[in-house]
C-alpha cells in the first residue's frame, strides 16, 4: 500500500498508473503536479488524482513514491525543482523510454544518485496522449522493465516492483545499457519509420488521393505516427547513439531489398519475406 503517491506529469501513463493502483486498492492519496493547472483540474474531475500542486516542490512533500512522467527533455529541470521537497525516505522512479538519459538527469539534478531512485519503463501506451486518454487496464499483461542501479536500495526496488505488479504488469529487470539498445530496435526505430513514411507521403502533391486509398495495413503500420511529437523528439535525442546504430543497420537491410527489386531477384525477396513471416508468426503465435 502506497500511502501518498505523487505523479509528476499526469498524462496517459501517469494517469493510467494512478487509476490502476486505485482500482487495486494499492494507494491512499494521489497528488498530481504539472505546469498546466487546467490539465490538473481535469485530472481531479476524472478522479485520476485527489489534489494537485503547481509547485512540484510542494507536491512531493510527504510522498512515499514519486513517479516522473514528463518528457525526457524536461527531466533535469523537473528534478531540480522537486528536489527540495523530496523526503529522504521517498522512492523516486520514472516511466521514461531512454534510461541512460533519465539517470543522467537525476544525477545532475541531485548531485548524485539517491538510494531511493529506481529507473523503470512500462512497455505500454497508445497513440493517444493526455489524462483523458488514461485507463486502468493499460498495463495488464504488459511488461515493465526495471533498470536498478548499484545505488538503488533493495527496499526501493521492491517498492517499485510491487507498485507495477499491482497494475497487472509483468515486471522484469535489465541493465540501463541493454534496455536502451533493445528499445531503440523494437520501439524507437518503428516510430521513426512511421513518422517518416507519413511525412513523406503527406508532402507529395497528390497526398489526398494517396491517403484516400490507403488500406488497413497502412493504418495499422502508421498508427504510432499519431503519438506525441514532443515526447518522441526527446526520445530520439535521449537515445541518440543506439537509435542511430539501428537506423544504419535498417538502411543496409532495406538496401538489400532495393537491390533485389532492381535485379528482379524474386528468390531473394521470397527468402527475406518468408524469414520475416516466420519470425513474426512465432513472436505472436498465441494471439
Grid coordinates given for 167: 497494475
- Give the pLDDT of residue 208: 75
Span 55-105, pLDDT tens digits:
999 999 999 999 999 999 999 999 999 999 999 999 999 999 999 999 999
- How are beta strands 65-68 and 51-52 bridged, if at all? unpaired
* CA separation for the pair 46, 133 (Å, rounded): 11
Instruction: Provide CB contacts within 8 A for 97, sequence distance 6+.
Output: 72, 121, 183, 187, 188, 235, 238, 239
pTM for this one? Answer: 0.88
Question: Which of 118, 124, 108, 134 has its CA nearest to residue 66?
Answer: 118
Question: Do 2-174 and 178-283 agree at the fold level?
Answer: no
Span 46-61, pLDDT tens digits:
999 999 999 999 999 9
Residue 210 has pLDDT above 90, yes or no: no
Mean pLDDT of 242-268: 97
CA angle 5, 38, 9 (to 5 degrees): 35
Confidence grade of residue 275 (pLDDT, cut at 50, 70, 90): very high
CA angle 203, 207, 209 (to 5 degrees): 175
Query: Distance of CA 111 to CAs 28, 68, 70, 83, 105, Å?
Result: 31, 18, 20, 10, 10
Residue 127 has pLDDT above 80, yes or no: no
CA angle 31, 34, 37 (to 5 degrees): 90
Question: Where is mean pLDDT largest: 73-87, 193-207, 271-285?
Answer: 73-87
Question: Cell 497526398 sits at which residue?
Answer: 207
Span 141-158, pLDDT tens digits:
999 999 999 999 999 999
Question: Cell 545499457 sits at which residue?
Answer: 177
Question: Which of 194, 200, 204, 203 has its CA nearest to residue 232?
Answer: 194
If one looks up domain 2-174 in CATH, what number appears? 3.40.50.720
DSSP 8-state secondary structure symbol assigned to residue 186: I
Confidence grade of residue 134 (pLDDT, cut at 50, 70, 90): very high
* Residues 179, 180, 182, 186, Cα dihedral to 10°: 120
- How are beta strands 27-33 and 143-146 bridged, if at all? unpaired
If one looks up domain 178-283 in CATH, what number appears? 1.10.3660.10
Grid coordinates given for 217: 495495413
Residue 212 has pLDDT above 90, yes or no: no
Question: Cell 513517479 sits at which residue?
Answer: 67
- 75 sits in which H/E element: helix 75-82
Domain boundaries, the chain: 2-174, 178-283
Amino acid at each position: 500500500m502506497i500511502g501518498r503517491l505523487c505523479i509528476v506529469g499526469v498524462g496517459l501513463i501517469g494517469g493510467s498508473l494512478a487509476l490502476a493502483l486505485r482500482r487495486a486498492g494499492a494507494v491512499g492519496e494521489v497528488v498530481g503536479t504539472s505546469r498546466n493547472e487546467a490539465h490538473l483540474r481535469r485530472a481531479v474531475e476524472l478522479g485520476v488524482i485527489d489534489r494537485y500542486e503547481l509547485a512540484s516542490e510542494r507536491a512531493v512533500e510527504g510522498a512515499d513514491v514519486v513517479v516522473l512522467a514528463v518528457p525526457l527533455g524536461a527531466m533535469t529541470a523537473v528534478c531540480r525543482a522537486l528536489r527540495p521537497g523530496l523526503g529522504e525516505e521517498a522512492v523516486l522512479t520514472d516511466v521514461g523510454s531512454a534510461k541512460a538519459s533519465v539517470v543522467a538527469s537525476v544525477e545532475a539534478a541531485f548531485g548524485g544518485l539517491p538510494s531511493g531512485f529506481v529507473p523503470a519503463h512500462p512497455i505500454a501506451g497508445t497513440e493517444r496522449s493526455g489524462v483523458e486518454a488514461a485507463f486502468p487496464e493499460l498495463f495488464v499483461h504488459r511488461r515493465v522493465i526495471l533498470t536498478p542501479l548499484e545505488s538503488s536500495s533493495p527496499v526501493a526496488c521492491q517498492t517499485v516492483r510491487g507498485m507495477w505488479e499491482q497494475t497487472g504488469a509483468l515486471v522484469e529487470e535489465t541493465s540501463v545499457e541493454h534496455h536502451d539498445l533493445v528499445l531503440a530496435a523494437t520501439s524507437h526505430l518503428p516510430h521513426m519509420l512511421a513518422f517518416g513514411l507519413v511525412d513523406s507521403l503527406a508532402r507529395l502533391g497528390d497526398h489526398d488521393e494517396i491517403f484516400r486509398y490507403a488500406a488497413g495495413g497502412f493504418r495499422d503500420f502508421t498508427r504510432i505516427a499519431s503519438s506525441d511529437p514532443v515526447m518522441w523528439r526527446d526520445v530520439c535525442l535521449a537515445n541518440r547513439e543506439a537509435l542511430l546504430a539501428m537506423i544504419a543497420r535498417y538502411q543496409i537491410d532495406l538496401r538489400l531489398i532495393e537491390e533485389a527489386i532492381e535485379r528482379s531477384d524474386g528468390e531473394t525477396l521470397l527468402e527475406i519475406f518468408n524469414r520475416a513471416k516466420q519470425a513474426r508468426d512465432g513472436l505472436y503465435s498465441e494471439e
